[in-house]
Amino acid sequence: MDPKPPDLVVTTLGARVARSPLNLSTIPDDEIADFVSDDQRVLLRPELRAGDCRDASVSLEKAGPREMLHFRPEEVKAAVVTCGGLCPGLNAVIRSIVLELHHGYGVDSVLGFKFGYSGLDPATPHVPMALGLESVRSIHKTGGSLLGCARGGPKAEVMVDTLERLGINLLFTLGGDGTQKGAHAIYDEIARRGLRIGVVGVPKTIDNDVAFVDRTFGFETAVDVARVAIDGAHTEAASAPNGIGLVKLMGRDAGFVAANATLASQDVNFCLVPEVHFDLDGEYGLFAALEARLKQRGHAVVVVAEGCAKSLIQGEVERDAGGNIRYASADADIGVFLKNELVRYFKPTGLGVSLKYIDPSYMIRSGPPNAADTIFCDILGRHAVHAGMAGKTDVLIGRWYGVFTHVPLPLVTSQRKAIDPDGALWLAVSETTGQPTLSNMPVSKRAEAWHSQSHRRK
Residues annotated as part of the active site: 207
Minimum separation from the CB atom of position 196 to a second copy (A): 6
279/356 with CB nearer a second copy: 356
431/448 with CB nearer a second copy: 431
The rounded distance, in Å, linking the Cα atoms of 130 and 427 is: 48
Q: With contact defined as beta carbons under 8 Å apart, do 299 and 238 qualify?
A: yes
201/274 with CB nearer a second copy: 201
Minimum separation from the CB atom of position 449 to a second copy (A): 24
State whether residue 321 is helix, strand or coil. coil
**Within 13 Å of residue 301, how many CA atoms lie on the same side as its CB?**
27
Q: CB count, 10 Å around CB of 161?
A: 17
261/272 with CB nearer a second copy: 261
What secondary structure letter does DSSP report for 285? S
According to DSSP, the β-strands at 129-130 and 110-112 are antiparallel
Q: CB count, 10 Å around CB of 410?
A: 13
State whether residue 182 is helix, strand or coil. helix
Minimum separation from the CB atom of position 379 to a second copy (A): 5
197/419 with CB nearer a second copy: 197
| Exposure string over 252-267, b if 16+ CB within 10 A, otherwise e | bbbbbbbbbbbbbbeb
Minimum separation from the CB atom of position 452 to a second copy (A): 25
Minimum separation from the CB atom of position 348 to a second copy (A): 19
User: Which helix (DSSP H) or strand (DSSP E) does residue 128 occupy?
Assistant: none
Minimum separation from the CB atom of position 444 to a second copy (A): 19
248/279 with CB nearer a second copy: 248
Q: CB count, 10 Å around CB of 320?
A: 15
DSSP for 218-262, please give it: THHHHHHHHHHHHHHHHHHHHTSTTEEEEEEE--SS--HHHHHHH
How far CA 427 is from CA of 31, 165, 422, 434, in Å, comes to: 10, 53, 7, 10
State whether residue 63 is helix, strand or coil. coil
Any bridge partners for residue 200, and if so which? 172, 395
